[in-house]
Amino acid sequence: MTEIAITQGDSTQELAYRSGYAGASEEPGGVSSAAGPDLAHIGRSVAELRKSFDAGATRSLEWREHELDQLARMLRENRKEIAQAVHEDVGKPLAEAAMSDVAGARGAATELRKKLRKWTAPKRVKTPIFARPGKSMILTEPLGVVLVIAPWNFPVDLALNPVAGAIAAGNAVVLKPSEVSARTSELLARLIPKYMDADCVRVIEGGVAETTELLAQRFDHIFYTGNGTIGRVVMQAAAKHLTPVTLELGGKSPCIIDASCNLEVSARRILWGKFFNCGQVCIAPDYVLAQADIYEALLEQLKATIVEFFGDDPQQSVDYGRIINARHHQRLMRLLASGGTVFWGGQADEADRYIAPTLLTDVPGDAAIMQEEIFGPLLPVVKVADVDEAIAYVNARPKPLALYYFGSDRENRDAIMARTSSGAVAVNQTVMHFASSELPFGGVGESGMGAYHGRHSIDTFSHKKPVLMRPTFFDPKFIYPPTTPRKAKLMSRVG
């Protein structure tokens, strides 16, 4: 086995937890290796899946349709138990868990099932003159055996959404859920074999040792959701087998607010995206850049909206979530103390994994909270003179997974879209673009590579194979040697 070092010292472990990495262990330790638990079953499982794939078990459209039906059925029949597990693991309200995890994954499987034949049909393309008579087409073929490494913050949707895409494309799949969301991991490991083809779809539970062993296997694609630090480890492991990867990472997604915005609507939409799942969302607004003219008014509107959403004591609100665990809580409190003034909120209760929805002002640009992805309910609000300053602020930092603009000024909107780079842009809205299967979801630069959702999931887990077919009744000899001056002249004109 090739040893892949997933260190668990303070810095890497902290980054792993911050971005929802699926393979981070609860306790600090050393470099992972095969030592410890018996890992032989992992190699056997991958080999068995490859045997099934090579035998053609996953290729038929009928098999794919059946498995997608079964996946949707599993989510429908067990929706209450799944939502309860997510609630217990992550601390998000039951309604949130049912919507974002259960309904989201079920919707993905249902749509892929409905449009599978259309999205995987051979596509005829033009044949160049020199290859005529003949016909050309592009076939969508499965890659083989796929590994999906899922995070804890949306432990069902971010696991089963890519799994559904891999199945729709005709692949065999290994799912590695996050052991940080242990209740959900156990539930998926128990339910999936009951509903799905165990010869072609497997769940491997465990922590760093199991993830390390999985990364030592040969896969045909690796789909990882988490942070950039572990994303680099995944790429390093994939390089040994020249395995393509999709990396769904994170970053600091900014909100740019200009004076033309609707303050009341903007505040609602910003805070809805920020405090959904208590801020533990890779595309949550990470900080706000507010034009000076409306800076004070925006702060007051944000404060009023927090009270409207969660009351004077959000800790008592059934609509407000919790931090995943004590380690995350401590990290967020360190960020809170790194600089700035608390304008609203700031209260915390580690025993309850609670941190109040918090607005921060006067935050230095070099403070830790402005350098690290927050991944929690802390929102710095930074004053800028104009949109040009906001654009410069964004461009001085790594490319974010999402960028949000609030305002009605077309010139400012277009300038932001043209002069910044991000995984996605949403205008007068946050987070909601994730739910659109028509839009590819993915990052750029340090926020990730590759994309999925809807048809884009099939594209990610497929190879577009070009095919040229020609008859034999017509076979002009001028393309064959020997080359005469007349042949050379004719050949120079073909194109």
**Residue 435 falls inside a structural domain:** yes
Does 14 have pLDDT greater than 90?
no
Overall number of domains in the chain = 2
What was the pLDDT predicted at 16? Answer: 45
Range of the domain at 373: 253-442
The answer on 271 and 245 residing in a single domain is no
Tell me the whole-structure pTM to 2 decimals.
0.91
Q: 19 — phi, psi (to 5°)?
A: -100, 10
Does 359 reside within a domain? Answer: yes
How does pLDDT run across 259-303, given as a tens digit for each residue? Answer: 999 999 999 999 999 999 999 999 999 999 999 999 999 999 999
Residue 301 parent element (H or E): helix 295-310
Rounded to 5 degrees, φ, ψ at 436 are -90, 115
Which CATH number is 305's domain given? 3.40.309.10
Q: Which helix (H) or strand (E) holds 208?
A: helix 208-215
User: Measured in whole angstroms, how far is the alpha carbon of residue 235 from the centre of its chain?
Assistant: 16
Q: Are residues 21 and 33 in the same domain?
A: yes
Helical packing angle, 410-419 and 387-395, nearest 10°: 20
Q: Is residue 2 part of a domain?
A: no
Whether 215 and 305 share a structural domain: no
Q: What is the pLDDT of residue 26?
A: 34
Predicted confidence (pLDDT) at residue 189 exceeds the cutoff of 70:
yes
Residues 270, 165: one domain?
no
Residue in this structure with the two tokens 């039906």, named with its chain if needed = 69
Domain membership of residue 326 (yes or no) is yes
Q: Which of 248, 372, 373, 446 is catalytic?
A: 248
pLDDT at 489: 81
Torsions phi, psi for 23 (to 5 deg): -105, 10
Contact 484, 473 (CB under 8 A): no
Residue 494 included in any domain: no
248 belongs to the catalytic site:
yes
What is the mean predicted confidence (pLDDT) over 173-187?
A: 97
Within this chain, do residues 216 and 259 fall inside the same structural domain, yes or no?
Answer: no
Only one residue has tokens 């809807």, namely 454
Tell me which residue has tokens 């996050």: 178
Question: Is 139 a domain residue?
Answer: yes
Task: Give the per-residue pLDDT at 36.
Answer: 61
Q: Are residues 198 and 89 in the same domain?
A: yes
Task: Place 494 in a pLDDT band, splitting at 50, 70 and 90.
Answer: low
Integer Cα distance of 350 and 453 in angstroms: 36
Residue 172 sits in a domain whose CATH number is 3.40.605.10
Residue 379 sits in the same domain as residue 402? yes
What mean pLDDT is predicted for residues 461-476? 94
The strand pairing partners of 83, in sequence order, are none
Is the pLDDT at 373 greater than 90? The verdict is yes
Catalytic residue from among 67, 210, 282, 372: 282
pLDDT at residue 144, rounded to an integer: 98
- Integer Cα distance of 160 and 148 in angstroms: 9
Same domain, 81 and 202: yes
If asked whether residues 296 and 208 sit together in one domain, one would say no
Burial 241-274 (b: 16+ CB within 10 A, else e): eebbbbbbbbbbbbbbbbbbbebeebbbbbbbbb
Per-residue pLDDT tens for 384-413?
A: 999 999 999 999 999 999 999 999 999 999
| Whether residues 415 and 458 fall in one domain | no
Residues 286 and 208 in one domain: no
Instruction: Quote the percentage of the chain above a pLDDT of 70.
Output: 92
For residue 491, what pLDDT is reported? 75
Q: Quick check: is 81 catalytic?
A: no
Q: Is residue 206 part of a domain?
A: yes
Number of neighbours of residue 115 by Cβ within 10 angstroms: 15
Q: How far is CA 30 from the centre of its chain?
A: 28
Indicate whether 456 belongs to any domain. Answer: yes
Q: How confident is the model at residue 495 (pLDDT cuts 50, 70, 90)?
A: low
pLDDT of residue 480 exceeding 90: no
Q: What is the pLDDT of residues 61-92, one digit of tens each?
A: 999 999 999 999 999 999 999 999 999 999 99
Is 219 in the same domain as 266?
A: no
How confident is the model at residue 477, as a pLDDT? 81
